[in-house]
Amino acid sequence: MKRNYSILFLCLAVILLASCGNASEESKPTIINEPKQEKEKDSNDTDSKEATSNSDHEQTNTKESDINDEEERKPSTEQDMTTDTQSLKQEYLVKLKKTKHETEEKRNNSEEDITIVLKGIEGEIFDVWDGLLNEIYGVLKNQLSEEEMERLRSEQRKWLDFRDRTAKEASLKYEGGTAEQLEYVVVLNKLTEERCFQLVESYMK
């Protein structure tokens, strides 16, 4: 009977030991890959920061590019004024050369060599050159200083007297004849044409 008890106790001891062993195994905490998750989180944060940094860098580059574009588009007032005046002078020189060519063609293409017809042609040519002279004079009023313009006015008055006097003297060769008035207008045209070129080349900026 005692032997039976001993065996019973031994079985109970084995069962208890086995139970304790299972409990020990069950009580062990389950290890979760938290470091990996933390690593992934850090990686995501780093990527996010890099993306933000790249975005900020791109925005900065865009702003700098916009500023550079604005600087390139921004006109330099002094440079533009110089360009404008230079191109204006060149424009008038081209215009004067073209007008000279056209007026010479008009003279040469006249089919009738009659004084009254020629006077009419020269009268039309005078209107052209006199109009250009006044136009150029008006441009110079805007370009020159008051002091420079005052000197030009005085010079222009003297030139007008010289032109009219020279034309009159030249016409006296035909005094009393039909060509007297024609010669007067021809000389007026020649001198007015020369004066237009002189004003543009010497005064226009």
Q: Do residues 119 and 189 lie in contact, with contact meaning Cβ atoms separated by under 8 Å?
A: no
Mean pLDDT of 65-73: 50
Mean pLDDT of 6-35: 52
Model confidence band, residue 112 (pLDDT cutoffs 50, 70, 90)? confident
Cα–Cα distance, 26 to 19 (Å, whole number): 10
Q: What is the model's pLDDT at position 75?
A: 43
Cα–Cα distance, 66 to 71 (Å, whole number): 9
Domains plus CATH for the chain?
Answer: 80-202 (1.20.1270)
Q: pLDDT exceeding 90 applies to what percent of the chain?
A: 52
Task: Collapse the DSSP code of 33 into the 3-class scheme (helix H, G, I; strand E, B; otherwise coil) and give the result.
Answer: coil
Task: Collapse the DSSP code of 113 into the 3-class scheme (helix H, G, I; strand E, B; otherwise coil) and give the result.
Answer: coil
Q: How many CB atoms lie within 10 A of CB 26?
A: 7
Phi and psi torsions of 144, nearest 5°: -85, 155
Report if pTM > 0.85: no
Q: Do residues 107 and 125 lie in contact, with contact meaning Cβ atoms separated by under 8 Å?
A: yes
Q: Distance between the two ends of the chain, CA-based, in angstroms?
A: 139
List of E strands, 30-88: none
Question: Distance of alpha carbon 16 from its chain centroid, rounded?
Answer: 97
Q: What is the model's pLDDT at position 82?
A: 46
Say yes or no to pLDDT of 37 above 70: no
